[in-house]
Amino acid sequence: MSARLTKQQGEWINRAAVVKFSFEGRGFSGFEGDTITSALWANGEKVLGRSFKYHRPRGILSLANHDVNVMLTDGLDTNIRGDVAPVSNGAVFEAVNTDGGVRKDKSRIIDSIAPLLPVGFYYKAFHTPKKMFPFWENVIRKAAGLGVVNFNYPRITKPKQHIHCDVLVVGAGASGLSAAIEAGKQGLRVVLVDENAQLGGSLGFDWGGSQESGKLLGELSAEVQALPNIQVITSAYAAGYYPDHLIPVVTKDGMVKVRAGAVVMASGAFEQPPVFRNNDIPGVMLGSAAQRLLHRYGVKPFEHGVVFTANDYGYRVAHDLLEAGVKVAALIDLRTEVDAALPAGLARRGVKTLQGSAVYEVEPASDKFSVKAVVVAPYNADSAEADTGSKTRIECDGVAMCAGWAPAANLLYQAGTAMRYDYGVHQFVPNKLPAGIFAAGRVNGVYALADKLADGKRAAVAAMRHIGKDLAEAASVPVSASAQSHPYPIVMHAKGKNFVDFDEDIQVKDFINAAKEGFDNIELMKRFTTVGMGPSQGKHSNMNAIRILARLRGVPVEQIGTTTSRPFFHPTPIGHLGGRGFHPHRTTPLHDVNAALGAVFTDVGPWKRAAYYTVPGLGVQDTILAEVEAVRSKAGIIDSSSFGKIEVHGPEAGVFLERFFTGLYADMAVGESRYTMLLDETGVVVDDGLAHRLEEELFYLTSGTSNAAAVYREMQRWQQLWQLDIGLVNVTGSYAAINIAGPLARQVLSGLVNFNLGEQQPHSAREAEIAGVPVRLLRVAFVSDSTYELHVPTTQAAFVWEQVMRAGSSLGLKPFGTDAQRILRLEMGHAMPGIDTDGLTNPLEIGAQHAIAMDKPDFIGKRSLEIIAKRPLKKALVAFALNPGYAGEMPFECNLVIRNGEIEGRVTSIAYSRTVGRVIGFAYVAPQHSAVGSAFEIRTDGGAMAPATVVPFHFLASQH
């Protein structure tokens, strides 16, 4: 039977567009604009999902994005919220978390053994024997849960946008619309965000039997539309608050990060359910959910129901039900004292009111799929118990329940708002707001429609004053003097199933038991019972949980406090957080040249560097060793463009270097190159490199790839302090670097450069030209004693590379990558900061005394080094080799050095060197064991002990 009403004013559905879809294998139709839930409900389908733990049948609760028991999958996506997700033609929906379908879910058996499964049962039941825990964990995870992750889900880009505005208004109900219009009229940039598909908030459904709200909504919406400076974002939620008024707004297709001058939080309040036995049976729903069904989707929530209320709002719901033609058998009011006009108004329409009464329990149909009747009894507010001696039974097929509101204050909490519990309105309201944040409407404890409009306007004026608008302060709007929420809407029942948290099937007794076990702090209780930890994050359960705990402990609600509210406010897909997925990376100007040569790239810091160059038919390890061999026997060429390159200009450049690095530089001759080592102020090795004096007042510094940017920043920082007459220029991106290394390197270059290479000494630098391109030619010895480093303007790098490759082709010149480079530098005995040192290593531990001029007036880290030098060394870096012919398990970096069963150090670098014919590396050992010839063992990943011997650092020289 269709529950669809005739056309309603302001309804969200388009009756001209029929949508066909299936649910649990059966075909249904709805209208464009329907949610899955509203379309199913219109078709008389009331069992829409199963609960998380007990697998109880569930229907509508809020119809406001919090019906987490109605989670669906369409075969691709999962955990689709039926209460807000639109129907679409051809969609095939199934409920998640069932075993055999939503009606015949085999797991429903769990409901019948619920007494055996109180909260925390698995903490206690399955921790021993330990080996069985994985089994039970698997069982529990299968029984309780949500949808199954689809690992074949396609990559859908969810862009993130940044927008800026003067005033951000969160919530487009009466207060939010009023605030946005007020700010918009001043010509400011206003952003108005609402999670619903259309503007209006409760104006669109809470009519109280009149159509005035709908009319007002039309007027306000028209005003917003007439102001082009108001940007409206609907179907989007403000997900969190971050400093300086940065608020991520999550839309279906992505995220908008809004940076606002001021924020008006008109986020409203979540309706809270009263707690009574079987308050979860399909057909029992919040009053506001019934109103949404009626006015947004033109669907009757039930045919003849009752309203169970604990505030005045229930009367408005009853009138709306009556207007829609729903029979209201009775209104049960938990309160004894009520404004007489309210029951009188209903009495005139033939509805009796039972004051001071409670719905003791809902009597479900035998299959628990629907409501059969309610049992009503007088209510004792002190004991929270119903007098079952005087109970009556009312046959009905639905219950609209209203107990009060919890402010949607999550973002206010995140912003640092101090809240207080107001005993007039009986809810938490802002007490002290952070600068630039303003609250309006229900979240501010303001409920009457006229007051909400005034409060929105007031908040907007305050926001505009905050950003500097010269406006007179608006009159304050008082918090509602009448209670909009019941202080304790709980009805005890000996048989339980009076649910507080619908997400996780948590009953009143679970809280009592938790408190008895000592979990009587709200944060502890939350974690033990898991209240508020489900997908709705406690939006309809936390307030009742606080009230229950307060009564259990006999303290006021404000002493219990609230749990921490963290971003994001609402579950958000990972894809939204990932966004488009920017991965900034740097490519050298020779990237494509390398690729054409078969390079396999690796990430080195932000750079893409060639790790090695593939050779058809050759394995990776052999390829790398062949590259090494080419350098040792003939010549190799490597793209080193990622190396850090910094120029220091000026008359005091030498002074700067002597203060910045550990060595001496002021006395360097033009054309000379010298080693540099940088320490931090604690004497820890940070970086090393080379300084080349190109001119009297120009030093050209080169360093490794990873630290270049950080070293330049550090130089700028020190220069700010020292104020020397120098100029610092980071030219890392301006110059490409090409190294030609090996015994034939000079021969490769000799026909290219415009001078006699034989004249250039080791450790020197000079300007030159190759085929008309200016180059800086450096003689270095990092990977080979015979290495030339060409630094050329970036845009001409490919041209120069090609010249060199052509010149070297007949000499066996081969490209080599970073993997071969690591072995080559290891063979040369060069330790590398960051690889062979860590965040605590001082230069004395790596034997770098030669690079330190302690007799200089000062340098960074000198004072610390003086102190360190007086203390005994704790470790020493040594070069080692495994025994010739070692055939055991290969040790890796970070494997431990073991001596007499104790940890003595660790391996920092290790590789097999075909040149040396042994596995070689660096390791830290105790200083007393660092002499050449000392033996130690390395424990491999597999636990084998590899014997090693300390050898001289220069492995190649040690071979000779």
Partner 1 sequence: MQTEKLITPIAHALNHAHGEQIDWGVIEQMKVAAHFGGKELEEERKKNLGIADASLLRKFGVKGAQAADWLARQGVAIPPRANTWARNADGSLVLRLGNSEFLIEDAPGGTSCERLAQAYAEAKGVYPVPHVEASFVIGGHAVQALFSEVCSIDLTRASLGAQDVVMTQFAGVSVVLIRQDLQEEESLYRLWCDSSYGSYLWEVIAGIAHEHKGGPVGIGRYFAAYS
Applying CB under 8 A, the residues found at the interface with partner 1 are 159-164, 189, 257, 259, 580, 582-589, 591-592, 607, 641-642, 647, 649-650, 695, 697, 725, 727, 729, 731-735, 772-773, 793-796, 798-799, 802
For the chain, report the end-to-end CA distance as a whole number of angstroms: 97
User: CB of residue 606 vs partner 1: minimum separation in angstroms?
Assistant: 8
Which residues partner with 299 through β-bridges? 4
User: CB of residue 673 vs partner 1: minimum separation in angstroms?
Assistant: 20
Phi and psi torsions of 427, nearest 5°: -155, 165
Which of the 8 DSSP states describes residue 447? -
User: CB of residue 624 vs partner 1: minimum separation in angstroms?
Assistant: 24
User: CB of residue 423 vs partner 1: minimum separation in angstroms?
Assistant: 43
User: CB of residue 649 vs partner 1: minimum separation in angstroms?
Assistant: 4
Give, in order, the Cα–Cα distances in Å from 250 to each of 15, 233, 265, 700, 756: 29, 10, 16, 49, 66
User: CB of residue 153 vs partner 1: minimum separation in angstroms?
Assistant: 21
**Of 822, 802, 838, 805, nearest to 913 (Cα)?**
822
Cα distance between residue 830 and residue 154, in whole Å: 47
Which C-beta is closer to partner 1: that of 424 or that of 579? Answer: 579
Which C-beta is closer to partner 1: that of 151 or that of 582? Answer: 582
Which C-beta is closer to partner 1: that of 717 or that of 850? Answer: 717
User: CB of residue 952 vs partner 1: minimum separation in angstroms?
Assistant: 38
What letter represents residue 942's amino acid?
Answer: G
Which C-beta is closer to partner 1: that of 628 or that of 770? Answer: 770
Cα distance between residue 427 and residue 489, in whole Å: 13
User: CB of residue 589 vs partner 1: minimum separation in angstroms?
Assistant: 6
Sort 833 into a burial class: Cβ within 10 Å, 0-12 / 13-18 / 19+.
buried
Cα distance between residue 907 and residue 945, in whole Å: 13
Which C-beta is closer to partner 1: that of 524 or that of 655? Answer: 655
User: CB of residue 585 vs partner 1: minimum separation in angstroms?
Assistant: 6
User: CB of residue 809 vs partner 1: minimum separation in angstroms?
Assistant: 14
Which C-beta is closer to partner 1: that of 168 or that of 443? Answer: 168
Segment (H or E) for 920: strand 918-925
Which C-beta is closer to partner 1: that of 684 or that of 797? Answer: 797
Cα distance between residue 821 and residue 909, in whole Å: 13
User: CB of residue 223 vs partner 1: minimum separation in angstroms?
Assistant: 23
**Of 929, 928, 926, 918, nearest to 958 (Cα)?**
918
CA-CA-CA-CA dihedral for 615, 616, 622, 628, to nearest 10: -20
**Of 758, 756, 759, 752, nearest to 775 (Cα)?**
752
Which C-beta is closer to partner 1: that of 232 or that of 897? Answer: 232
User: CB of residue 581 vs partner 1: minimum separation in angstroms?
Assistant: 10
Give, in order, the Cα–Cα distances in Å from 134 to each of 138, 157, 530: 6, 36, 21
Check: CB of residue 124 under 8 Å from CB of residue 103: no
Please tell me the number of Cα atoms within 13 Å of 356 on its side-chain side. Answer: 7
Sign of CA dihedral 584, 590, 596, 601: negative
User: CB of residue 163 vs partner 1: minimum separation in angstroms?
Assistant: 6
Which C-beta is closer to partner 1: that of 100 or that of 727? Answer: 727
Cα distance between residue 470 and residue 406, in whole Å: 35
Which C-beta is closer to partner 1: that of 188 or that of 925? Answer: 188
**Of 466, 483, 474, nearest to 178 (Cα)?**
474
Sign of CA dihedral 237, 240, 246, 251: negative
User: CB of residue 617 vs partner 1: minimum separation in angstroms?
Assistant: 26
Cα distance between residue 717 and residue 912, in whole Å: 41
Q: Do β-strands 586-587 and 607-613 pair in parallel, antiparallel, or remain unpaired?
A: parallel
Q: Which residues have a Cβ under 8 Å from the Cβ of 763 and sit 6 or more positions away?
A: 672, 673, 674, 779, 780, 781
Which C-beta is closer to partner 1: that of 166 or that of 688? Answer: 166
Which C-beta is closer to partner 1: that of 27 or that of 774? Answer: 774
User: CB of residue 794 vs partner 1: minimum separation in angstroms?
Assistant: 5
The token pair that represents 601 in the structure block: 């790239």
Which C-beta is closer to partner 1: that of 728 or that of 832? Answer: 728
Which C-beta is closer to partner 1: that of 162 or that of 850? Answer: 162
Which C-beta is closer to partner 1: that of 691 or that of 848? Answer: 691
Give, in order, the Cα–Cα distances in Å from 230 to each of 212, 440, 946: 25, 18, 71
Cα distance between residue 662 and residue 665, in whole Å: 10
Check: CB of residue 416 under 8 Å from CB of residue 409: no
Which C-beta is closer to partner 1: that of 145 or that of 733? Answer: 733
Which C-beta is closer to partner 1: that of 649 or that of 899? Answer: 649
User: CB of residue 258 vs partner 1: minimum separation in angstroms?
Assistant: 11
3-state secondary structure string across 322-384: HHCCCEEEEEEECCCCCCCHHHHHHHCCCCCEEECEEEEEEEECCCCCCEEEEEEEEEECCCC
Cα distance between residue 696 and residue 649, in whole Å: 9
User: CB of residue 248 vs partner 1: minimum separation in angstroms?
Assistant: 12
3-state secondary structure of 179: helix
- Burial track 455-487 (b if 16+ CB lie within 10 A, e otherwise): bbbbbbbbbbbbeebeeeebeebebbeebbbbe
Cα distance between residue 235 and residue 64, in whole Å: 12
Cα distance between residue 508 and residue 492, in whole Å: 8
Which C-beta is closer to partner 1: that of 428 or that of 607? Answer: 607
User: CB of residue 729 vs partner 1: minimum separation in angstroms?
Assistant: 5
